[in-house]
Amino acid sequence: MLSIVIPTYNSSVVLKQTIQSVQGKAGVGEILIVDGGSTDDTAQAAAELGARCITAAKGRGSQLKAGADAAVGAWLLFLHADTVLEEGWERHVGAFMNKPENENRAGYFTFTLNEDTKAARRLERVVARRCTWLGLPYGDQGLLIHQSLYEEVGGYADIPLMEDVDMVRKIGKDRLVPVPVRAVTSASKYQKSGYLKRMLRNVSCLTLYFLGVSPERIVKLYG
């Protein structure tokens, strides 16, 4: 059985579409919303769509960790609240889960933005190269992993930033497998701050993290 874990914080506007993209699909045993103290109607929206909702300290690291601890499925699929999987995703995920050797691997999806612009396509190509060359898919590409491997690597760290990078580094590039499914993510944060500014911010955070700067310090610098 597959447990889908979605961390949320004031996500009511985007959550419905995300849940509906995975709801009722073959193999999905539960949709688990882990809320970080939303002040909007995120919890109500999740409940109305039949998802299970729990609360955790705000921060993707702590929320993902709490979701994994509460999940009952043998397989875990972590998704961001503003990421929608393309139609037919369950066939590819099912094929991945049905291969015994993949219990010691983790899958991730193709980063796609929901905006048809040159800047969006350019960023998608940059992300694809980052995954191929560095083995660093981010959280907005999802993460499909068996409970046994999740526990082996120690799960998500309770950190305020870079929890996705920390996780895939523990798994290791050789055990990360691209699953041919588009994970369509909202481009709103890039539209709001500008593609170049947002990309430079992300690169700066990643560079500082690799240089040994703590996630807590990076959050203070970049928010």
pLDDT at 222 over 70: yes
In this prediction, residue 223 has a pLDDT band, given cuts at 50, 70 and 90, of: low
168: exposed, middle or buried (Cβ count in 10 Å: 0-12, 13-18, 19+): buried
The pTM of the full predicted model, rounded to 2 decimals, is: 0.96
β 75-78/2-8 pair status: parallel
| pLDDT at residue 199 is higher than 70 | yes
Phi, psi (5° rounding) for residue 4? -100, 120
> Does the pLDDT at position 220 exceed 90?
no
Q: 216: how many CB neighbours lie within 10 A of its CB?
A: 10
> In this predicted model, what pLDDT tens digit does every residue of 8-48 receive, in sequence order?
999 999 999 999 999 999 999 999 999 999 999 999 999 99
Q: What percent of the chain has pLDDT over 90?
A: 97
> What's the pLDDT band for 71 if we cut at 50, 70, 90?
very high
Q: Residue ranges of the alpha helices (H) in 52-194?
A: 60-70, 89-97, 118-134, 147-153, 163-171, 188-193
Structure tokens at 53: 């909702």
- The pair of structure tokens assigned to 210 is 């690799």
132-186 pLDDT tens trace: 999 999 999 999 999 999 999 999 999 989 999 999 999 999 999 999 999 999 9
30's enclosing H/E stretch is strand 28-35
